[in-house]
Structures are given as structure tokens and as C-alpha cells.
Amino acid sequence: MDKLQIYVDGLFAHGGDLTQKKAVLAAMRADYDDAIATGEPETDALIAVMSAYADAASAAGPHRSIGIDAATANSFWRRAEFTARMTALGVAMLIAGLAALPLTGSRAGDYGVAAFFVALALGVVLLLIPRLLRRHSHKARRVPIAPATQALAQRKLAAYRQPYVIGLCTGIGLCIVSVAPAIALGPTLGASLMFLLIAIGCFFIIYVAMIQASYKKLQRPKAKLK
């Protein structure tokens, strides 16, 4: 049985007109097929269709919703990890580009300016990649999350606690100690090393924070997903 059928069965599990149920399922399948035909990833299409029809059986009274299952959640977390990695790298690259600016006052001034703009361009590209790969932009809607998926998210969040703490502390520590090179090595080399350490620190902070947020998002009965 396909996921859309399971989802609709959940929506109408405790009431609702059979004709309405068939009509909702047919409409969901048509919208899903249209999304796939335009090149949208299967998981994105599934989430978009589920969110659009989340209240389809509201007239039938209280009902139980199956919601996002574990397979869909794992796909969502894989995309979230990719987005976190690209975003963290993009921000780090933008900050690292600032490390080239102190060199503009030295003999390597031209190379410093070139390195700054190259880092700026790479940073922007890295930030845009996850957004461009989505191809379609849907308004965020509240989607039901299956109880088993909520439990899975809680387990993943608990297992990620140690990596999160290590990554966060490493990032904060690098940002704090970054002032040392600036003091010890002077305004040129010292400032460049300071920006590089801040860039690495920000990468760790942003990456682990976004991963943790993705697990927290699916702990609730409903979550806003695109």
C-alpha cells in the first residue's frame, strides 16, 4: 500500500464520507504525480501534498492521522544535514574571506583582494546550493508526525547530544582563542589567523545547531515543513 493511501486511511479512520475519501486520495495522487513530473524530489512532493490535504477530513470530526513516517523523516534528516553542511561552509567561507583583507596593506595586496572576492563568491554559492536544489518553493504547512516518528526523533536527538556539545564547545572555544593570534602576531598575520579561527568556529556552531534543530522539529505531533 502506498504512502498516500496510508495517509488518507489515517485521515478518515474515524469518520468521513467514503466518496470524499476517494476524491481526496485521487486529488492527492494527481498533485503528487504533477510534482514528480516537474522534477520535484519524491520526499518534497510527498510532504507538500500531505501538508496541503492535512485538514481534508476535518468535517468528519476527530480523526487519527498517520502523518510523516520514519522513511520520510530519514529522508528529511538527510536533506537537513546537507543543508546544514552547505550553510555552515558558506558562512565559514564568507568569514574566512575577511582573512585576506589585512594582507591588502602588504606586498601581497593584490592577492589579498583576489582571495577575498573568491571566498565571497564561493560562500554565496554554497549558501545558494541547498535552496536551488529544491527547485520548488512551497509555503510551510503544519504536517502531522506519526507517533513512531516522534519517538525516533527523540532517540536521534538523545544520541546526538554528545556530538552537539562537542561541536558547540569546539566552535565557541575557537572563537574565544581567535583573539590570541591578533595580539601575539600583529595586525596583519594575526588578524588573518583570527578570522580563519572564527570561520572554523562558526562552521561547528552552525552545523551542530541546524542538525539538532532538525531532530527537534519532528518531536512534536505536528511540524511546519516545506
Q: pLDDT per residue over 122-141, tens digit each?
A: 999 999 998 888 755 556 66
Name the residue range of residue 26's domain: 1-58
| Residue closest to 2 by CA, chosen among 40, 39, 37, 49 | 49
Pair 100, 182 in one domain: yes
The shares of helix, strand and coil residues in the chain, as percent rounded to the nearest 5, are 75, 5, 20
pLDDT in tens, 144-203: 787 778 888 999 999 999 999 999 999 999 999 999 988 888 777 788 899 999 999 999
For residue 66 the three cell numbers come to: 498517520
Within a domain: residue 119?
yes
**Cβ distance 226 to 137 under 8 Å?**
yes
For residue 178 the three cell numbers come to: 581567535
Phi and psi for 141 in degrees, rounded to 5? -130, 155
Secondary structure (3-state) at 114 = helix
Placement of cell 536533506 in the chain? 79
pLDDT at 49 over 80: no
Within a domain: residue 63?
no
- Measured from the Cβ of residue 8, the count of other Cβ atoms closer than 10 Å reads 26
Confidence band of 108 (pLDDT split at 50, 70, 90): low
- Please state the pTM of the whole predicted model: 0.69
Pair 50, 97 in one domain: no
pLDDT at 65 over 60: no
Within a domain: residue 225?
no
Within a domain: residue 177?
yes
Number of domains in the chain: 2
